């Protein structure tokens, strides 16, 4: 969520290129938010107390930033690290927002990240449905 907020705000405030920028950010942000929320529902079920999941989130947020490739180059990462990074919605979210905000890309030009987020929404949505169903 940090990547979503920072990238969107910096990209929109620093440069206004086209009238469609806000729509691209909104559409992309909606899908990333859905993927993050659904993954959060699954992870929250691993813990008995809500406080424990918050501590786990804090402990994993910085490694997630490094895995995204925004602060540490993807080419310098080991293959197993790159494989681990595709599980996190923040990886594709940060990449897409950097392309939209800083590189001037349109939504159609970030289709790989966009598609990966939709795939995560489907997978994590199914997982969240199973977890919630099992709880009842």
The tally of CA atoms less than 13 A away on the side-chain side of residue 59 is 6
Residues with Cβ < 8 Å from 1, sequence gap 6 or more?
33, 36
Whether pTM > 0.95 for this model: the answer is no
Q: What is the pLDDT of residue 30?
A: 92
**pLDDT score of 99 more than 90:** no
Find the distance separating the first CA and the last CA of the chain, reported in whole Å.
29
The residue among 60 and 123 whose pLDDT is bigger is 123
pLDDT value at position 18? 52
Residue with tokens 């990462």: 77
16 vs 41, which has greater pLDDT? 41
Is 109:99 a contact under the CB 8 Å cutoff?
yes
To the nearest whole number, what is the mean pLDDT of the chain?
81
pLDDT-derived band at 19 (thresholds 50, 70, 90) equals: very low
Spatial separation of the C-alpha atoms in residues 43 and 18, rounded to whole Å: 38
pLDDT at 108: 80
Spatial separation of the C-alpha atoms in residues 81 and 76, rounded to whole Å: 10
């Amino acid at each position: 969520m940090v990547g979503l907020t920072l990238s969107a705000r910096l990209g929109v405030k620093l440069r206004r290129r086209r009238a469609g920028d806000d729509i691209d950010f909104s559409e992309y942000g909606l899908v990333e938010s859905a993927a993050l929320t659904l993954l959060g529902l699954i992870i929250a079920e691993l813990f008995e107390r809500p406080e424990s999941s918050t501590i786990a989130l804090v402990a994993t947020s910085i490694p997630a930033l490094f895995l995204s490739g925004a602060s540490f180059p993807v080419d310098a990462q080991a293959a197993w690290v790159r494989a681990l990074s595709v599980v996190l919605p923040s990886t594709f979210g940060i990449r897409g927002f950097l392309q939209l905000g800083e590189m001037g890309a349109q939504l159609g030009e970030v289709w790989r990240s966009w598609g990966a987020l939709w795939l995560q929404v489907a997978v994590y949505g199914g997982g969240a449905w199973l977890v919630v169903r099992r709880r009842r």
